[in-house]
Amino acid sequence: MATRDDFLARVRAAQPAGRPRPDVPLFTSPGGDLRERFTAALALMGGTCVEAATAADVRALLAGRFGTDAVICSATPEVQGTRAMDADTPPASLQDVDVGVVRARFGVAETGSVWFSEKEYVVNALGYLAQHLVVLLDPARIVDGLQDVYRQPDFRDARYAVLVTGPSATADIEGVLIRGAQGVRSLTVVWLGGGASD
Name 133's bridge partners.
100, 187
Over residues 69-116, the pLDDT tens digits come to 999 999 999 999 999 999 999 999 999 999 999 999 999 999 999 999
Task: Check residue 195 and give its pLDDT.
Answer: 67
Which of the 8 DSSP states describes residue 174? T
CATH class of 33-191: alpha beta
pLDDT for residue 62 is more than 90: yes
Burial track 6-33 (b if 16+ CB lie within 10 A, e otherwise): eeeeeeeeeeeeeeeeeeeeeeeeeeee
Domain boundaries in the chain?
A: 33-191
Over residues 116-130, the pLDDT tens digits come to 999 999 999 999 999
Task: Check residue 78 and give its pLDDT.
Answer: 93
